[in-house]
Amino acid sequence: MRFDSDNGASDGRGRLRLLDADPDLGARLDPERRAEATRRLVVPALGARAGTLSDSALRIAGADGLGLLILDGVIARELLLSNNVSAELVGAGDLLQDCRADEPSRLLRSRVRWTVVEPARVAVLGSRFAADLRDYPEITSVLMARMVERTHRVGVTHAIAQLNGVDRRALAMFWHLAERWGHVSSAGVEVPLRMPHRILAQIIGARRPTVSSALTQLTERGEIARREDGGWTLLGQPIGSPTDEISRVIPLRRRRFTRGAVELSGGDAQAGRAATAGTTKA
């Protein structure tokens, strides 16, 4: 994968008004400030049609820049660790930076690569944008809220990867993806992502052949159906609500935590008892 100039950018030179391309960024600005920010915040735009890119390619925004903001499309962030690869899907509104995973100071070495799942466009938020953004803290707060939401999505993905049964993991992941990329039709919930089985396997912590078998099982059970464009239709009801089993598991974990607590003295002991009491009542 390589980045190309975005021929669809608003000024014909690969640059665009960021708030025109991503209107939600200015949702917390009053009309006057929004108009001003729209005029000022003009950034380069690039396209990525297919392929894979190294993590270091994201440094195009510069050391003082914020990174690359996805405007549309879907990209898989693949993390290579030992003989295993895990993945996270990112899309419109997500802010990307290189993580320098292979720095010598890290004790656990890994590598990151970026693979296009659906053709994408990104805005380059460089040092000039970072300087101008100081005048618009409302936009910064939107970016922060998006980062928090992305953290939650990663947490949900980790939980899905711990479910028993690859078929359950795959189905739960489809519903998770539907929250962001799906839409309702007369047939069910459409998820128009043409995602390779390899990527899905990396997301849910399984092997590609096992995922292919699980998708066949789900199709035969009438829970999903393949679309003509390579996406999927979800035919059943959303899943994922905690079961009755969780009410038994959580108290067990609390008791283990309490028994394994470290003895404290003085003011630390009082704080520790208060924290333990709060945990028990939660």
pLDDT tens readout for residues 142-175: 999 999 999 999 999 999 999 999 999 999 999 9
Secondary structure (DSSP) of 231-266: -EEE-S-------THHHHHHHHHHHHHHHTPPP--H
Collapsing DSSP to helix, strand or coil, 81 comes out as strand
What pLDDT, on a 0 to 100 scale, did the predictor assign at position 79?
Answer: 96
- CATH number listed for the domain at residues 4-160: 2.60.120.10
What pLDDT, on a 0 to 100 scale, did the predictor assign at position 275?
Answer: 47
Checking DSSP bridges between strand 224-226 and strand 84-91, what pairing results, if any? unpaired
Do 125 and 66 contact (CB within 8 A), yes or no? yes
pLDDT tens readout for residues 217-251: 999 999 999 999 999 999 988 877 777 766 666 56
pLDDT over threshold 60, residue 53: yes
Distance from C-alpha of 269 to C-alpha of 282, rounded to nearest angstrom? 20
pLDDT tens readout for residues 82-117: 999 999 999 999 999 998 887 888 888 899 999 999
3-state DSSP: the chain helix, strand, coil percent, rounded to 5?
A: 45, 25, 35
pLDDT tens readout for residues 171-193: 999 999 999 999 999 999 999 99
What's 12's DSSP letter? Answer: S
What residue segments make up the domains of the chain, in order of their start? 4-160, 166-234, 245-281
Q: With the C-alpha atoms ordered 174, 178, 181, 187, is the resulting torsion angle positive or negative?
A: positive
More confident residue, 144 or 267: 144
Secondary structure (DSSP) of 116-159: EEEEEEEEEE-HHHHHHHTT-HHHHHHHHHHHHHHHHHHHHHHH
Q: Do domains 4-160 and 166-234 have the same CATH topology?
A: no
- CATH number listed for the domain at residues 166-234: 1.10.10.10
Q: How far is CA 259 from the centre of its chain?
A: 36
What pLDDT, on a 0 to 100 scale, did the predictor assign at position 253?
Answer: 54
